[in-house]
A and B are shown apart, each in its own frame.
Chain A
Amino acid sequence: MYFQDITSVLHMDGHGIYVWSTYGISLLIVAYNVLAPLRQKKQVIGQIKRQIINEKQVQSEKNTAVKQ
């Protein structure tokens, strides 16, 4: 490692605040790019599954109505 101790890693000769803030903000944006599509995927799959179940129910009700 280039730095001697944890204090010099954080301080970076006075540039620590700039360097660490960019890494922090980047982490947030990278996390958003991962989490947002995962949430969307869960939502869409949930919607389609509900739609399939509903359609199956409607179909079976129709079938029983026809039999009766």
Chain B
Amino acid sequence: MNWTFFHKLGSPKWFYDISGRWLPWLATISALLMATGLTWGLLFAPPDYLQGNSYRIIFLHVPTAFLASAVYVMMACAGAVTLIWRVKLADVALKCMAPVGASFCLLALITGAIWGKPTWGTWWVWDARLTSVLILLFLYIGVIALRGAIRSTTTAAKACAVLSIVGVVNIPIIKFSVQWWNTLHQGATLKLTEKPAMAPEMLWPLLISILAFYLFFTAVLLLRMRTEILNRERRTQWVQQRLGG
């Protein structure tokens, strides 16, 4: 296997340059898709036969909840790369993913609670799905706080990598909580292996919103990572050349 790509990706300078070219495209496409998906879902999709118009929260709840879990898995992968290969960029990614993932997790909890009120008659129940997602938010906050508490960048990188990897055990619990335990939360709406149960006029805006939020995440992650790279590499010649003018 050709590992040149992997090593290039690990080079902060190469990453800084290539991400600078991707960023405007990612930002524009995600903004357009988000506007399309959310306007479609909010104003044009038909109401649900059971839940009425409150189901329109799905176009925000599902993308943010997907991302909350996916970003944590990505953090665990970045943590593994940091520990095994000591790729500096992996720790930059891990650090920059944490606050974005935390914000999506918080948003998933808030949109879920607001959706719960008209649908279940309550904002919150201590059931498996809701509690495990709340634990996910605490894990995100834990990773952010842990880094803040350790002065040495190398030690902080190792500690955050370990916490991210250990915390990933919560992800299958979130995923299967709706099957393993009795819960108010409905089962998965979208399944990779089955035909979607949703009508296409509801499914399309949902898929567009999910794609938009993933691209949005990628764009803001690149934005954060570029700043973090400049900060960490400020003593290097290439940063001084680019900013010294």
Contact residues of A with B, CB < 8 Å?
A: 1-3, 9, 12-16, 18-19, 21-23, 25-26, 29-30, 32-34, 36-38, 40-41, 44-45, 47-49, 51-52
Contact = CB atoms under 8 A, between A and B. Distances in A.
Contacts of A15: 52-54, 56, 118
Contacts of A14: 52, 118
Interface of B: 34, 38, 42-47, 52-54, 56-57, 60-61, 64, 99-100, 103-104, 106-107, 110-111, 114-115, 117-118, 216, 220, 223-224, 226-227, 230-231, 234, 239-240, 243-244
Contact of B234 (A1, A12, A40, A48): A48
Contacts, number: 97
Q: Is the interface of B mostly helix, strand, loop or mixed?
A: helix
Nearest to B241: A52
Contacts of A3: 43
Contacts of B57: 18-19, 22
Contact of A44 (B45, B47, B53, B227): B227
Contact of B43 (A2, A26, A33): A2
B98 to A, nearest CB: 13
Contact of B54 (A18, A30, A37, A51): A18
Nearest to B39: A1
B47 A18 contact: no
